[in-house]
A and B are shown apart, each in its own frame.
Chain A
Amino acid sequence: MIRESSRFSRLFDSLNYVFLTAFALLCLAPMVHIFAVSLSGRAPATAGFVSFFPIDFTLENYNEVMGSRTFLRSFNISVIRVLTGTSLNMALIILTAYPLSKTPRAFKGRTLFIWFFVFAMLFHGGLIPTFLVVRSLGLLNTLGALILPNALPIFSMILMMNFFRNVPKELEESALIDGASHWRVLWHIYLPLSLPAIATLTLLSAVNHWNAWFDALIYMTDTANYPMQTYLRSVVVELDLTNVGIDPRDLQRLSDRAIRGAQIIVATVPILVVYPFLQRYFISGIRLGAVKE
């Protein structure tokens, strides 16, 4: 280890620590501000007196949000979407990646199938034709519109396939010679050895489903079917308070700005809960999958 002792070096270190701290705080500042607003009373929040600490501390804004039926309904829809959508994604990723991870000798037609999927990843029909197809299949206003069109995320499937290819072949060969089928090999050999990759892709898929909002905006013509993020859009972006499910009388004692802040924070909490895992798995996943050098 090099010991830095020159005066310049120590100055460099101090400036570096100061700069990085300032940068990180600056990244965080907008969120802390909204958090403080969401915990503030009506007068200071409306007048814009709140900076990074709540004024007239109150939990009323959160009470209001958690008591809103519309909000809870959209929250439920999002939870259902994450559970079903992520399960479907993972099932299809694994089932598709396994055959494609074989050699063209062990799986005839592999090259053709690979190009079938890769071309679909590289070239898109585009927003309008996709919309028309989903509509013609009668999926508008159903959960299917949110989880079926991207049931197989192709890039994730390719990462999984690359991971499967690194599973030692000897295990599989001896199992096949002993008469095990490919189903058993996949279930008893590949899956247990691929848990880190599966965890990574599961988290990625769950976060994507939780954060998705545009598909519901176009496929749900009835706002009662909106998941959390799409609902949040009508509240915090379009500032449409007619559809919020909040009693107008309550707006006499609470600030709409603080209520919006509370909704933003509640929508963020699930991400914060899985964030430690995201950091651990996802970041190592990026290294192992996407950047092979």
Chain B
Amino acid sequence: MTFKQYIRRAWPLYVMLIPGVVFVLLFRYYPMYGIVIAFQDFSPAKGFFNSPWIGWENFEFFFSLPDFGRTFGNTLFIAIAKIVADQIGAIILALLLNEARVLLFRRSIQTLIYLPYFLSWIVLGGILLDVLAPHGILNQAIGNFGIKPQLFLGSNDWFRGTIILSGFWKNVGFSTIIYLAALTAINPVLHEAAAIDGAGRLRRIWHITLPGIRPTIVLLAALSLGDVLEAGFEQILTLYSPAVYRTGDIIDTYVYRVGLVSAQYSLAGAVGLFKSFIGFFLIVLSYWLADRYAGYRIL
């Protein structure tokens, strides 16, 4: 095929790509250029191109603040606790659902536990703010056992626990889907053979079902590495308050407040860049591990 023939056939392929390339250049790559503000004393009037350069000053300033340790500590703590709770919960739920043999029952339970995943944090947050309020239904319920009302969202003792549990509520049902899919791939003959050899329920779960989904567990563990800086921005922004900044303020909420509420663009840009930078390596590492140990590729 000559070059001319190639062009005559293939030119529509290039035309099709134009809109996608334009949007990605404008809204992804141009902002990437915009990270120069982290090294500038940025002012909107002068823009990305004319603001004065100040080197690493913004970073040095941020690292010297107590906010640095606090936000990174909170982010890592909440994100890792969420990943662990979500994965373990999803595995247990998938195993139990797999043991329930009445199909209609299984379907109904799944329908109920997937639902929160599709609701926004505003809807779920609105529900939680009512349910967990000092005079809300949960405090009334524990009051019946003589326990004093607790500030589930307003006290540093409770806030992280509330965030982790409510994140579990939203996501765990959905996380079970992938495990359930892996469970259906296990050959039932294995179970029958083990039953004939006298293996009871628990032994079959332990020796057949769990090893059967091990590749999936490894895969999701590898991929979750990309999420250890994602503590749940929309959730925390909806539920937190200044009273719980000590335990609940994460990098993303900090960037939002410093950058968009107080308009300290350069400082917030530096913090955001620091996070994007680490996040990029975490994601690349997680994809590499997923490919290496679970044969997973997105491309």
Contact = CB atoms under 8 A, between A and B. Distances in A.
Interface of A: 1-2, 4, 6, 8-9, 12-13, 16-17, 19-21, 23-25, 27-28, 30-31, 33-34, 37, 48, 51, 91-92, 95-96, 98-100, 102, 106-108, 113-114, 116-118, 120, 122-137, 148-152, 154-155, 157-158, 162, 176, 181-183, 186, 207, 210-214, 218, 229-230, 232-233, 236-237, 257, 260-261, 263-264, 267-268, 271, 275, 278-279, 283, 286-287, 290-293
Interface in B242-299: 252, 255-256, 259-260, 265, 268-269, 272-273, 275-276, 279-280, 283-284, 294-299
A126 B169 contact: no
Contact of A211 (B19, B35, B119, B126): B119
A106 B20 contact: no
A33 B137 contact: yes
A237 B120 CA distance: 13
A127 B173 contact: no
A34 B260 contact: no
Contacts of B108: 24
A118 B298 CA distance: 10
Contact of B283 (A37, A122, A150, A264): A122
Chain A contact surface mostly: helix
Nearest to A272: B115
Given A24-B113, A133-B31, A117 B24 contact: yes
B272 A8 contact: no
Given A9-B201, A287-B181, A127 B116 contact: no
Contacts of A23: 93, 109, 113
B178 A182 contact: no
A24 B127 contact: no
29 contacts: A8-B200, A13-B100, A16-B99, A20-B93, A23-B93, A30-B128, A33-B131, A48-B136, A51-B137, A99-B14, A113-B21, A117-B24, A120-B28, A120-B29, A123-B280, A124-B279, A126-B255, A126-B275, A127-B255, A130-B34, A136-B47, A151-B27, A158-B298, A181-B12, A214-B237, A230-B122, A236-B122, A236-B130, A279-B110
A62 B284 CA distance: 49
Contact of B23 (A107, A152, A287): A152
Contacts of B113: 23-24, 27
Given A4-B201, A116-B21, A127 B260 contact: yes
Contacts of A34: 126-127, 130-131
Contacts of B120: 210-213, 229, 267
A13 B97 CA distance: 11
A283 B34 CA distance: 38
Nearest to A37: B130
Nearest to B233: A214
B187 interface: no
A108 B10 contact: yes
Contact of B28 (A16, A125, A132, A264): A125
B156 interface: no
Given A124-B28, A125-B276, A283-B114, 12 more contacts: A12-B99, A95-B17, A123-B276, A128-B265, A130-B34, A132-B265, A182-B13, A207-B118, A213-B122, A237-B125, A268-B123, A287-B181
A279 B111 CA distance: 8
Contacts of B256: 127
A2 B192 contact: yes
B84 interface: no
Nearest to A161: B299
B9 interface: yes
Contacts of A133: 26-27, 30-31, 34
Given A127-B260, A150-B27, A48 B140 contact: yes
A13 B101 CA distance: 9
Contacts of A237: 122, 125-126, 129, 238
Nearest to B273: A126
Given A37-B130, A125-B35, A130-B31, A28 B17 contact: no
B28 A260 contact: no
Given A127-B259, A237-B238, A31 B127 contact: yes
Contacts of A230: 122
B157 interface: no
Contacts of A123: 32, 276, 280
Contacts of A13: 99-100
A129 B23 contact: no
> 7 tightest A-B contacts by CB?
A129-B34, A125-B31, A126-B272, A236-B126, A96-B20, A211-B120, A99-B13
Given A34-B127, A267-B123, A96 B16 contact: yes
A293 B130 contact: no
Contacts of A236: 122, 125-126, 129-130
A139 B254 CA distance: 25
B195 interface: yes
Nearest to B23: A151
